[in-house]
Amino acid sequence: MTVRLLVFTRFPEAGRAKTRLIPALGAERAAAVHRSLTARTLREVEQFRRSHDAAVEIWFAGGDAPAMRGLFGDGPTYRPQCEGDLGRRILQALETHAGFPPTVVIGTDCPDLSAGRIARAFQALREHDVVLGPALDGGYYLIGLRSPCPGLFQNIPWGTADVLAQTQAVAVRERRSVARLESLSDVDEPADLIHWRRTVGEEATEIMCGMISVVVPTLNEEAELSRTLASLAGEADLELIVVDGGSVDDTCAIADGYRARVLHSTPGRGVQMNAGASAALGEHFLFLHADTHLPPGFDVLIRRTLAEPGTVGGAFRLGIDGPGVAYRMIECAANLRSERLQRPYGDQALFLNRTMFDRVGGFPEWPLLEDVELVRRLRQLGQIAIVPKAIVTSPRRWQKRGVVRTTMLNQVILAAHRLGVSPQTLARWYRNLR
C-alpha cells in the first residue's frame, strides 16, 4: 500500500529563515543552517523512499518551486503552503489527496531524524491511529495519522512548549490510540546549535567558516566586564560567550545586556574556557580575560594571522592600562618573551582554530598555569605568532600586591613549575604568598 510522506519546510532566504538564530549567527548563516537541515532531512527521506512505496511531497513557504528544485533536486513534488498558522497549513496539505493513506508529516529542524525513524513511524500506524515524534522543546518533529483527525491541528498553541501535550490531549479526547517515538532535539534557538554542530560535523564547519568565538571566563567581574564587552559589540562574524564561575555580583546581568551567551561552570579558568570552547560554534577561538580590551580590527588580525602557513596559534602584544616606568618595563619584558621565545600568556588574548584546540586537548584543568601549558603544547606543533598590535589589560593585579612583589611571585611560580612542582602545590603557594 502506498503511504504518504509530507515534508514541511521553507525556502532558505536570508532574513526569513531561522530568524531566532539571527542574533547569534547573522541572517546569512542562519539561512545556511536552515538549508543544511533541509538538505539533510531530504537525504533521509530519499533513503526511506527507495525502500518503501511512498509518495513524497515537499510543502514549502517562501520562494517558489523552481528555486526549491534548484537547491534540493527534482525528485519530490513541491507544493506551496497556504497562509495561516501551522495547523491550517498541515490541514490544507492533508486535504489535497484523494482518500487518506497512512500519512506522516515531518519538519526539517531535527538533525537526528533518520530514514529508520520515519519507517518506524509508519510501522506504528499499523497498530495506532496517531504517532508522535516528541521534540525536546515541547513540540513535535513528526506526526502521523491513519485516518483524518482535524482536531489535532485546531486551537493548538503553535510555537510553545505545550504543543505536544495539547495535541496528545486532543487525540485522547477523540479516542485515538497514540504511539510515541523517541524524543529528539529541534534546532530553533541558539542553544540548540551546540547539538547541531556535533551532529552534522563538516557541514557545520563549512557554514561557520571564519566565525570567531570569543570566550570570556568570569568570576565577580562587574567592575571590568562592561568595558571589555563594549569593545566587542557590533563586530561581524563574532560569537560572544561568557562562562561564569559563580559570580555573586552583576557579572551575568552585564553579560546578558551585551547579548552574550552566558554559561555556568565550576570556577577555574581552565575549566571555564574549556566549557566555553565546548559550546562554541566558530571556526576560531579567542580566549579573553574579563579585564582585557582588544585593539580595533582584532578580528581581521586574527583571521589573517591564523591563515599564515605553519601558524598554530597566536596572541597580541601586551599593554597595561596605567602610567609609569614599571608598567612599561613589564610590557617590554612580556613582549620580548612572546616574540623571541613564542611564549605569550593568557592575558595577551590567546587565539587558535578549533582543530588545533582539539588536537592539543584544550586547556589543562589546573588551578594555575593552564595558559602556560596550552602554549607549551602548541609550540610543539608549529609557530605561535604575536600580532603587532597590543591589547590593553587592567593593572589591578599589580596594584593589589605591588609591581615588584607581583613580578617576583610570578617568576617564582614559573621557575617552580619548570622544576616539576605540581600546579596544585603552586596554587597553594600562590594563595599563601600573595
What is 221-272 written as a DSSP string? -HHHHHHHHHTTTT-TTEEEEEEES--SSSHHHHHHHTTPEEEE--S-HHHH
* C-alpha to C-alpha distance for 209 and 176, rounded to whole angstroms: 48
The confidence score (pLDDT) of residue 409 equals 83
Q: With 0-12 CB in 10 A as exposed, 13-18 as middle and 19+ as buried, what is 314?
A: buried
| Cell numbers found for residue 316 | 597580541
Helix (H, G, I), strand (E, B) or coil at 83: coil
Q: DSSP string covering 326-376, please?
A: HHHHHHHHHHHHHHHH----GGG-EEEEHHHHHHTTS----SS-HHHHHHH
Please name the CATH architecture into which domain 208-394 falls: Alpha-Beta Complex (3.90)
pLDDT of residue 426: 82
| CATH 3.90.550.10, the chain: domain bounds | 3-190, 208-394
Q: What is the pLDDT of residues 127-167, one digit of tens each?
A: 999 999 999 999 999 999 999 999 999 999 999 999 999 99
Q: Where are the beta strands (DSSP E) in 27-96?
A: 54-61, 77-80
pLDDT of residue 99: 83
Length of the chain: 434
Per-residue pLDDT, 354: 95
What b/e string do you get for 318-352 counting C-beta neighbours within 10 Å, with b at 16 or more? bbbebeeebbeebbeebbeebeeebbbbbbbbbbb
**The three grid cell numbers given for residue 159, joined into one nine-digit string:** 510555537
The top-level CATH class assigned to 3-190 is alpha beta
Q: What is the pLDDT of residue 98?
A: 76
Beta-carbon neighbour count of residue 248 at 10 Å? Answer: 9
In this structure, the number of other CB atoms found within 10 A of the CB of residue 166 comes to 16
pLDDT for the residue numbered 434: 57
pLDDT band for position 405 (cuts 50, 70, 90): confident
* Average pLDDT of the chain to the nearest whole number: 93
